[in-house]
């Protein structure tokens, strides 16, 4: 993406960050250049690495399947990991290995747009969440990655919790037993027994049903 500019755009972004109250800085990783070690060493507490489980050469695991030392140091400094599935940036193999090593994501995100919503492999945030259930994360862990942890990472002080004083912005899901073949960005597949199905959302006091749930007359607002 950066071509011959190398690490310079990130160094400049860090300088701009310091001029703006250290707002969270997100970097996406995958192909060289620059090398992931160069990237990680420039990041500080609250910065976010997205596409954290990509299967490309610039992945967080070394060839032996262990976490890169630069990523270990970054996590110790408070750098956060975000999924950012996307069309080409999520590998079941990398995610399973990293999670087995105790390297869980701080946030689960889709990196969704028209093409990967319609043609896959993303489809929806709910499906990306379902992939992490299939890999072995618990439902509370998955939900935290799209609520409280996401709000904390973006410094949204009134979001992400069901508590008095917080904004009542909600998404309602149902966990359904529905055997489904899930596919990652490497075209590898994983059989899931259960998937999360979105039913409705409430935003700023207004309710929205998904098309399917509206047709089923699941409930009324």
Q: What's residue 221's pLDDT?
A: 66
| Closest C-alpha among 109, 120, 141 to residue 184 | 120
User: What's the CATH number for 3-158?
Assistant: 3.20.20.140
Segments making up each domain of the chain, as ranges? 3-158
- pTM attached to this predicted model: 0.95
Could you tell me which residues are beta bridge partners of residue 202?
170, 207
Q: What's residue 213's pLDDT?
A: 72
- What pLDDT digit, counting tens, does each position of 126-170 carry? 999 999 999 999 999 999 999 999 999 999 999 999 999 999 999
The answer to whether residue 214 scores a pLDDT higher than 80 is no
- What pLDDT digit, counting tens, does each position of 73-119 carry? 999 999 999 999 999 999 999 999 999 999 999 999 999 999 999 99
* Displacement of CA 189 from its chain's centroid (Å): 19
* Distance, first Cα to last Cα, the chain: 45
Distances, alpha carbon 146 to alpha carbons 70, 186, 197, 210, in Å: 26, 24, 15, 19
Alpha carbon distance 104, 83 (integer Å): 10
């Amino acid at each position: 993406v950066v071509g011959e500019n190398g690490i310079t755009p990130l160094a400049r972004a860090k300088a701009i960050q310091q001029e703006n109250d250290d707002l969270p800085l997100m970097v996406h990783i995958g192909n060289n250049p620059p090398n992931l070690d160069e990237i990680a060493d420039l990041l500080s507490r609250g910065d976010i690495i997205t596409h954290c489980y990509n299967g490309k050469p610039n992945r967080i695991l070394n060839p032996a399947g262990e976490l890169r030392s630069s990523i270990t140091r970054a996590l110790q400094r408070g750098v956060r990991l975000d999924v950012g599935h996307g069309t080409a940036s999520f590998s079941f193999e990398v995610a399973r290995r990293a999670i087995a090593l105790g390297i869980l994501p701080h946030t689960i995100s889709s990196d969704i747009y028209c093409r990967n919503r319609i043609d896959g492999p993303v489809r929806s945030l709910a499906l990306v969440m379902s992939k992490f259930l299939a890999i072995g994360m618990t439902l509370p862990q998955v939900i935290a990655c799209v609520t409280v942890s996401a709000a904390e990472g973006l410094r949204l002080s009134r979001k992400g919790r069901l508590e008095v004083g917080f904004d009542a912005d909600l998404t309602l899901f149902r966990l359904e037993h529905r055997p489904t073949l899930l596919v990652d960005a490497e075209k590898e597949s994983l059989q899931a027994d259960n998937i999360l199905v979105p039913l409705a959302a409430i935003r700023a006091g207004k309710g929205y049903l998904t098309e399917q749930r509206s047709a089923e007359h699941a409930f009324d607002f």
